[in-house]
Amino acid sequence: MGDNGNVDIIMVRHGESEWNLKNLFCGWYDADLSEAGIKEAQDAGDHLKTSPYKFDIAYTSGLKRAQNTLATILERSGNTHLPIVKTWRLNERHYGALTGLNKVETVEKYGAEQVAIWRRSYDTPPPEMHEDHQYYDSIRNNPNLKEDGPTPQEFPKTESLKLTIERTLPFWNNVVVPKLKEKTRILIVAHGNSLRGIVKHLDNISDQDITTLNLPTGIPFLYTLDANLKPVVSMKFLGDPDIVAAAIEKVANQTKKK
Ligand SMILES: O=C(O)[C@H](O)COP(=O)(O)O
Mutate which of 69, 95, 158, 165 for ligand 1 pocket (most atoms within 8 A of beta carbon): 95
Select which of 40, 47, 92, 159 is catalytic. Answer: 92
**Which of 14, 40, 47, 159 is an active site residue?**
14
Q: What percent of the chain has pLDDT over 70?
A: 99
Ligand 1: residue of 92, 101, 139 to mutate (most ligand atoms within 8 A of CB) is: 92
Residue 252 has pLDDT above 90, yes or no: no
Q: What type of residue is 196?
A: R
Give the residue numbers of the binding site: 13-20, 65, 92-95, 103, 119-120, 192-193
Q: What is the pLDDT of residue 3?
A: 58
Nearest-CA neighbor of 66 among 202, 197, 217? 217
Sheet with strand 231-237: strands edge to edge: 84-86, 57-60, 186-190, 7-13, 221-225, 231-237
Could you report the predicted ipTM of this complex, rounded to two decimals?
A: 0.90
* 95 CA closest ligand 1 atom index: 1
Is 166 among the catalytic positions? Answer: no
- The response to whether residue 120 sits with its C-beta less than 6 Å from ligand 1 reads no
* Alpha-carbon distance values, 16 to 108, 233, 245 (Å): 24, 26, 16
Q: Is 201 a catalytic residue?
A: no
- How high is the pLDDT of residue 257? 83
Residue 80 DSSP class = T
3-state secondary structure at position 223: strand
What pLDDT was estimated at residue 245? 87
The answer to whether 195 and 205 have CB atoms below 8 angstroms apart is: no
Average pLDDT value for residue range 120-137: 97
Bind-site residues for substrate: 13-20, 65, 92-95, 103, 119-120, 192-193
* Position 132, amino acid: D
Over residues 71-127, the pLDDT tens digits come to 999 999 999 999 999 999 999 999 999 999 999 999 999 999 999 999 999 999 999
